[in-house]
Amino acid sequence: MADFEPRTVNFRVLGATVLMASLAFFAICLIGLAANGSDNEFWPLAFVLSILGVFFSVGFYCINRVLQSIESNTYKNEEAVLRLIRHIDHIREGIDALNENILLSEDAKVIAFRDKDLQALRQKIEEKITAKDWEAAAYLAEHMAGRFGSRQEAEQFRARIARERDQMRQQDIAMALARFDDRLGGFEWNESAEEIEKIKANFPDAPEVGELTEKLEQARTARKKELIRQWDQAIQNNEVDRSIEILKELDRYLTPNEAAAFEESARGAFRAKLHNLGVQFSLLVAEKVWDGALQVGLQIVAEFPNSRMAKEIQERLETLKAKAKATKIEKT
């Protein structure tokens, strides 16, 4: 209201002065008119003018009060708007200050807990490396570089992860190759081929993979040659049982043409073994060693089922079993 009062006080004083002057002039005219009557033309005219002055001053005063009220209300509205604007400004300043405090608080939290969080991240990376979870460990290392800015430490972790992952891969390849070599050493050719397929699937870029099939073929060929050599030696030394055992294994390696070449020698070996078993069976029967005779007889039936000797033994098999059982009872 400090700016409003100086503008309205002059109007109020002027209105009051005009009104008082009009009333005074009216009073003078009224007295003059009463004293002189209508003989003097001045006083009637002055009286009319005084009445008009009173009306004018009253109207002027009323208009002044109306204008004062309008101006006062306008000023009050302006003041209310200004107060509202100032209040909004205060609220905005408070919100800005609150936001700033929140940001400062968050920054303070980040600073306060950065070392703790970084240490927890280190521990988590170590756990992932121990668990051989290389992808997760690498991801956490990237997070360390991006979130905490520890680029040098993150790079050290990445190098370690790559090194240990490569070491583990080399160990896995070595173990797979060792299993393959064990299969080769046991002459397990089908199992060796399966190991090759597993190694190719798990380690397709390993340099050793391309050599495994050739190594398998070389080992298989070498075993075949060795069996043929042993077969020839057993035949020359008249080692019938050994030659037959060798021939059973060698049969896995022979082609139809190769098997035909061995057929005559094989027949001789089988005939010789059958002859030896027959002689052994006859001696045991003659000596009445029924348990031994039964075992040799069962061997002849199992290994030479189509031979005449096997058929004769089958006809006497129940008798041999009864005599072998009776012998055991007598011994007890």
Span 97-138, pLDDT tens digits? 666 655 545 555 556 567 788 888 889 989 988 888 888 988
Ranked by mean pLDDT, which of 97-101, 194-198, 201-205, 308-312 comes out on top?
194-198
- The C-alpha angle with vertex 73 and arms to 71 and 77, in degrees rounded to 5, equals 115
Q: Which residue from 243, 242, 241 is spatially nearest to 262, judged by alpha carbons? A: 243
36 has pLDDT over 70: no
Contact 234, 250 (CB under 8 A): no
Rg of the chain in Å (alpha carbons):
64
CA torsion 242-245-246-247 (nearest 10°) is 120
* Number of residues written out for the chain: 332
95 has pLDDT over 70: yes
CA 266 to chain CA centroid, Å, is 64
Span 221-267, pLDDT tens digits? 999 889 888 877 877 777 777 877 887 888 888 777 777 766 666 66
CA 14 to chain CA centroid, Å, is 90
Residue 316 phi, psi dihedral angles, 5° rounding: -105, 5
Q: Which of 60-69, 166-175, 203-212, 240-249 has the lowest mean pLDDT?
A: 60-69
C-beta neighbour count of 7 within 10 angstroms? 11
215 has pLDDT over 80: yes
Report the pLDDT value the prediction gives residue 12, as an integer from 0 to 100: 61
Mean pLDDT value across residues 267-283: 75
Contact 197, 213 (CB under 8 A): no
Q: Which residue from 303, 281, 301 is spatially nearest to 292, judged by alpha carbons? A: 281
- The C-alpha angle with vertex 320 and arms to 317 and 326, in degrees rounded to 5, equals 145
**CA separation for the pair 280, 35 (Å, rounded):** 191
At 151, the amino acid letter reads: R
Mean pLDDT value across residues 165-172: 90
**CA separation for the pair 95, 169 (Å, rounded):** 58
Q: What residue ranges do the domains of the chain occupy?
A: 5-115, 272-332
- Which tokens in the block code for residue 143? 């997070």
Question: How would residue 180 be classed by pLDDT, with cut points 50, 70 and 90?
Answer: very high
Report the pLDDT value the prediction gives residue 8, as an integer from 0 to 100: 53
> For the chain, where are the alpha helices, taking DSSP H only?
5-36, 42-130, 134-147, 151-185, 189-202, 209-236, 240-250, 256-286, 290-303, 308-331
Report the pLDDT value the prediction gives residue 6, as an integer from 0 to 100: 44
Report the pLDDT value the prediction gives residue 181, as an integer from 0 to 100: 92
- Which tokens in the block code for residue 267? 């027949």
- Which tokens in the block code for residue 66? 């109306």
Report the pLDDT value the prediction gives residue 222, as an integer from 0 to 100: 92
pTM above 0.85, yes or no: no
